[in-house]
Amino acid sequence: DAGVTQSPTHLIKTRGQQVTLRCSPKSGHDTVSWYQQALGQGPQFIFQYYEEEERQRGNFPDRFSGHQFPNYSSELNVNALLLGDSALYLCASSLSGAEQYFGPGTRLTVT
Amino acid sequence: AQSVTQLGSHVSVSEGALVLLRCNYSSSVPPYLFWYVQYPNQGLQLLLKYTTGATLVKGINGFEAEFKKSETSFHLTKPSAHMSDAAEYFCAVSEGSGQGAQKLVFGQGTRLTINP
């Protein structure tokens, strides 16, 4: 049984560019959450998708947007990248419960 | 708003010694509490969780944690440290399941170092 997968593993972008990160949830899971983990910090909640709709959102600007597809996979989009967006982006999936399973993350570097 | 405080950004113990990682939380509703471990360049792995019921929770790799409502604490312990326990540990709180999973609020993390 495949766990949560994320792509790409690493990404380097230039300030001002746009980026799309992808996540496939654990088999059978219907909820996807995204977190940003800056270096040396704990993960910060960005938003959560359920039934293809954003259900919760953390304290992140509108430059951060997402999407969930009918197969429950999800994308995180970040526009107008800033140097401060450099971080590990984690995707977590769950099935209508409190236990979230995390993927390995995508390391984004903005130069 | 919920919050988590992990006391000690770095903890160092000898192999075979007791591991104690401290976590205090703030929540306006009965919390769900979690401990996650993160190895270098990897995602988060769930060690254990408290939802309801027994306040002493056992997890993987010999770790356990006790929910103490009066102290708003959820400290993580392991009787005997192993070299493979060296990692970053995160305590997290959520408001419970409700309609699907609720967001997790994480502490800043504690880096555990094991000395041979």
**pLDDT average per 10 residues of sequence, chain A (111 residues):** 91 98 94 94 94 92 97 97 97 82 96 97
A4 touches chain B (CB under 8 A): yes
Nearest to B101 among A42, A90, A94 (CB): A94
Give the separation between CA A39 and CA B5, rounded to whole angstroms.
18
B33 to chain A: nearest residue by CA? Answer: A98
All residues of chain B having their beta carbon less than 8 Å from the beta carbon of residue A48 are 100-101, 103
β-pair type (A106-110, A10-13)? parallel
Q: Is there a contact between B108 and A41 if contact means CB atoms under 8 Å apart?
A: yes
pLDDT band at B101 (very low <50, low <70, confident <90, very high): low
What pLDDT does B42 receive?
A: 85
Residue among A50, A68, A102 with most chain B CBs within 10 A, to mutate: A102
Beta-carbon contacts of residue B54 (< 8 Å; ≥ 6 apart): none
